[in-house]
Amino acid sequence: MSKENSNKEKGKNPPSGGSNVKKAIEIKKFNDLEGRFLLVRVGTDKDPATEPQIKDIEDKLIKLFKDNNVNCLTFVTHHAVDVVLL
């Protein structure tokens, strides 16, 4: 019996290049950020973010966007910032 048939009998789907599908979904999510403004708030009232933690998140996002060629305006700050459009 083939692996595909045994998977069907057990109610499982056969492998379908899962990592390729996952990568395609991740790329689509990155494309959804193109040209947008992203506000990232780090920390909570009980555990406020430190400047080094904020900088670390900012650096990681910059690298992630640069590596994936995503043009997204990103602002990383502590949790207590609110952005209001007037």
Residues sharing a CB contact under 8 Å with residue 71, sequence separation 6 or more, in sequence order? 34, 35, 65
Chunked mean pLDDT (size 10), the chain, 86 residues: 46 54 63 85 93 94 88 90 79
Residue 78: name the closest of 55, 60, 86, 70 by CA. Answer: 55
State the pTM of this model.
0.60
So what's the pLDDT on residue 50? 95
